[in-house]
Chains A and B, each alone.
Chain A
Amino acid sequence: MDLMKILLIAILVNNIVLMRFIALCSYIGMTSDLGQSVGMGFAVTFVTVLATAATWPIYNFVLLPLNLTFLKILVFILVIASLVQLVEFYLKKNIPGLYAAMGIYLPLITTNCAILAVTFENIDNHYSFIQSIVYAIGVSLGYLLAMILLAGVRDRIKTSPVPKFLQGTPILFIASSLLGVAFMGFSGLIK
């Protein structure tokens, strides 16, 4: 029940993009077509879960006993960067099909805020290992959902008469605002 609650809150109530504004760069930059945004969404999901599985033990079994918690920003970003590199090599060598599908997104997501944010929040919320993994899955599914939603909306915007000064990025923000209003409806979901 507790895990289910963490999952639902992460996907809907506190949607990482629409409610918390994390990972906005890729949300605006990568959603010009649906295929691309789905690819990016899955790549982020994959790396977020892996990064959580790697950083949680490092924090709790290495940094905490050694009293080095102030190094967490430095350590986490290095772990994530090298992890992404490793995954890229591994996929290229052993699973070329999957590499072709999401390989090009991998270098981009080293600096995706969502991944780093999830690893920090797992620590700040004192989640257990299982809870951390569930939270990571929830947040990245929320990200995937937001990416797909905006990609769909953008398809419609292309054929709509948008006022001159709202064309381009401004209309995307206004559309996101409306999506956000819809997501606020979920806030009553969990008491």
Chain B
Amino acid sequence: MKNLWKVFKQGIIFENPLLMLMIGLCSALAVTSNVSNGIGMGLAMTFVLLFSEIFISLFRKAIPNSVRLPIFIIIIAAFTTMVDLVMKAYFPELSKSMGVFIPLIVVNCIIMGRVEAFASKQKIMPAIFDSLGMGLGYTWVLVGIAAFREILGNGTVAGIQVMPQSYQPILFFILPPGGFLVFGLFISLNIWLKDRMKKSAAAKENA
């Protein structure tokens, strides 16, 4: 149980796919101009990741090594299609505003990377925890960036006004260049935090 918890924590903080591993960036920047898109994308991604890891972990002994990549792609594409169709049917507006990024989950490096590096070698329980950790790690960064951009750029969170009426929105933040800037600052903040943690750990050892 302790091991599973550790696997879960890895994805959320120490090996966070966006801030540490720097993979799966495309969708992270494109859909974060508002919070509801961020949540939708994060959940869609977590769903595909969870089920792909479960299935690949279940069949890991049956999949021949030489053709494993095409098989992984087919499994991932099947779940992506499901998400795409469900989104179109039940959340047509959300699906429209995310556009081509839902089908693009299929080539998201996070899924392929985790499936290849983790699920194809591990039992099913660690695979489930790994996918949940990675998925939630992805989602919280997405929601964080989206909240930052939406509050400054539009004065709202998920469409609800939070800034005072007199606040003049800084449109820059919800435009594409704002996405790059905010993401750059998030990585920078993360490096700073890691540096500080290291320093305080070193200070403790010396004391």
* Docked CA distance A183–B177 (Å): 9
- Residue A113 at the B interface, CB < 8 A? yes
A21 touches B77 (CB 8 A): no
Q: Which residues of A contact B99 (CB under 8 A)?
A: 124
B162 within 8 A of A: no
Q: Collect the chain B residues with CB atoms within 8 Å of residue A179's CB.
A: 177
CA distance A179 to B176 in the complex (A): 11
Q: What are 28 inter-chain pairs, A to B, with CB distance below 8 A?
A: A18-B176, A20-B30, A21-B176, A22-B104, A24-B26, A25-B25, A28-B25, A70-B81, A73-B77, A73-B84, A78-B74, A81-B73, A113-B108, A116-B103, A117-B104, A120-B100, A120-B104, A166-B188, A170-B184, A171-B184, A173-B183, A173-B184, A176-B180, A177-B184, A180-B177, A181-B177, A184-B176, A184-B177
* Contact assessment for B185 and A170 in the assembled complex, using a CB-CB cutoff below 8 Å: yes
Which residues of chain B are near A70, meaning CB under 8 Å? 81, 85
Q: Which residues from chain B contact A61 at a C-beta distance below 8 Å?
A: none
Q: Which 9 A-B pairs have the closest CB atoms?
A: A173-B184, A180-B177, A177-B180, A170-B188, A21-B30, A177-B181, A24-B25, A21-B29, A74-B77
Chain B residues with CB under 8 A of A117: 100, 104
Which of A71, A113, A181 has most chain B Cβ within 10 Å? A113
Measured between beta carbons, the chain B residues less than 8 angstroms from A22 are 26, 30, 100, 104
- Beyond contacts A73-B106, A184-B176: 7 other A-B pairs, Cβ-Cβ < 8 A, are A19-B176, A21-B26, A21-B30, A81-B73, A165-B188, A169-B187, A173-B181
Least CB distance, B97 to chain A, in whole angstroms: 14
Is A178 on the interface with B (CB-CB < 8 A)?
yes
Q: Known A81-B73, A174-B184; judge A25-B100 contact (CB<8 A).
A: no
Q: Which of A13-72 contact B (CB under 8 A)?
A: 18-25, 28, 70-72
| Interface SS majority for chain B | helix
Chain A residues lying within 8 Å of B191, measured Cβ to Cβ, are 165, 168, 170
Prevailing SS type, chain A contact patch: helix
Interface positions of A (Cβ within 8 A of B): 18-25, 28, 70-74, 77-78, 81, 111-113, 116-117, 120-121, 124, 165-166, 168-174, 176-181, 184
Residues of B with C-beta under 8 A to A176 = 177, 180, 184
| With A116-B106, A117-B100, A165-B192: A78-B70 Cβ-Cβ less than 8 Å | yes
Give the CA-CA distance A77 to B75 in the complex, in Å: 12
Question: Which chain B residue shows the least CB distance to A27?
Answer: B25
Instruction: Name the A residues within 8 Å of B109 (CB-CB).
Output: 25, 111
Q: Is the CB of B175 closer than 8 A to any CB of chain A?
A: yes
User: B178 an interface residue at 8 Å Cβ cutoff?
Assistant: yes
Which residues of chain A are within 8 angstroms of B80 by Cβ–Cβ distance?
A: 73
Asked if B184 and A111 sit within 8 Å, CB to CB, the answer is: no
Interface string of B27-49 (1 = CB under 8 A from A): 10110000000000000000000
Instruction: Check B125 for interface membership: any CB of A closer than 8 A.
Output: no
In the assembled complex, which residues on chain A have CB atoms less than 8 Å from the CB atom of B181?
A: 173-174, 177
Closest A residue to B193 by CB, please name it.
A165
Min CB distance B71 to A, Å, is 11
Pick the contact of A73: B24, B103, B192 (CB < 8 A): B103
Roughly how many angstroms separate A178 CA and B25 CA in the complex, as a whole number?
18
Q: Name the distance in Å between B129's Cβ and chain A's nearest Cβ.
A: 25
- For B84, the chain A residues whose CB sits under 8 A away are 73
- The answer to whether A74 touches B74, judged by C-beta atoms less than 8 angstroms apart, is yes
